[in-house]
Structure 1
Amino acid sequence: MKPLFFFCTVCFICIFELSAQTYEVKVITSVESVVPAGLGRSRLIDANETRDYNEFTTTRTDEGKDRNKSDRGEIRLKNFDETKLLNFYNVGGIRFQNIAANDAVIESKINAMLAEGWDLAFVTSAVESDAGQKDGNGIFITRFIFRRPINP
């Protein structure tokens, strides 16, 4: 009976420790151009500064007309890594070599993040594609959300 009690106690402590774990989060964003003729810009963005969302948040109520007075310049940051990627299109159309090259660069970044102790927790993507004759714009955006445990 004592070994079973000891085993259950150890399991409980391990589970409690895992559930009490806190993480820091890092977002890396790739923006890949889907503008015809290769006229767009494609980049991998990694912010080197943090922002506290509370400084830019207003809680709205029925009675209140409070408004956040933050200046855009307070939100904007200038300290980030910008890695060049290739556009999906060139003058001849879709360029599969460019997509493969972008994959290799993004893979390299993910491997570097993993080596630094980050875990890839989520990936989300969206596209705003060229809407036809008069548009000529489009991007494919992917957010890679990493996390790693914060040591107490």
Structure 2
Amino acid sequence: MKKNFLFIAAIAVGLISFSFINKEDSNDNKPAQVEYKVVTVVESIVPNGLGRSRMISANESKDYKEFTTVRSGDKDKDEKNKSKRSEIRVKDYEETKLLNFYNLGGIRFQNIAANDAVMTSKVNTMIAEGWELAFINTGVESSGGKGDGQGIFITRYTFKRSI
């Protein structure tokens, strides 16, 4: 009986140890390389439907290091980044039109449903292309007070996939 128990325990320990093997960790224990892509949705919350709403996705990449200044606290050793705004701009991107949250009658729920359908289509397409939805971040800048009448709702979808 004790031998059977030890045999079953050994099998259980073996099976459990195999469950901790990282499937992405192949090729001589090198971690799998991934790439990330961000899709940003900007939805207008300007009253009367006067704003613009879009889904934006860059088709080109930029190296942040080209536009970064490292500060050391010693003004004499710090080198100012000399990059121009035109060098930072991305000209190759997708811009998908969306509907505004408001029209002349107020909030338009049909527009929200339409935007959801378009965004879902984008997410489903990217998943079919091998991307995995990794993170979603949202933010809102609503009216800044009397007479402002401005506002946007931003959602950033961060996708990743193995290279």
TM-score normalised per structure 2: 0.83
Pair 1:125-2:125 in alignment = no
Greater CA deviation, 64-73 or 139-148? Answer: 64-73
Count of residues paired in the alignment: 149
Pair 1:44-2:55 in alignment = yes
Contact 2:70 2:78 in 1 (8 A): no
Cα RMSD between the aligned structures? 2.3
Aligned twin of 1:115: 128
Aligned twin of 1:61: 72
Q: CA deviation at 1:136?
A: 1.0
Measured in 1, the distance between the counterparts of 2:24 and 2:47 equals: 53
Aligned twin of 2:111: 98
Runs of 4+ in structure 1 off by over 3 angstroms are 3-16
Aligned twin of 2:42: 31
TM-score normalised per structure 1: 0.88
Larger radius of gyration: 2
Measured in 2, the distance between the counterparts of 1:9 and 1:97 equals: 52
Amino acid at match of 2:25: E
Pair 1:17-2:25 in alignment = yes
Measured in 2, the distance between the counterparts of 1:10 and 1:16 equals: 14
Measured in 1, the distance between the counterparts of 2:68 and 2:21 equals: 38
Aligned twin of 2:4: none
User: Unmatched 5+ residue regions in structure 2?
Assistant: 1-6
How much identity, in percent, do the aligned residues show?
Answer: 57
Measured in 2, the distance between the counterparts of 1:89 and 1:53 equals: 36
Q: Deviations over 1:4-59 (max 9, x none)?
A: 69868866764671771121000000000000000000000010100000100111
User: Unmatched 5+ residue regions in structure 1?
Assistant: none
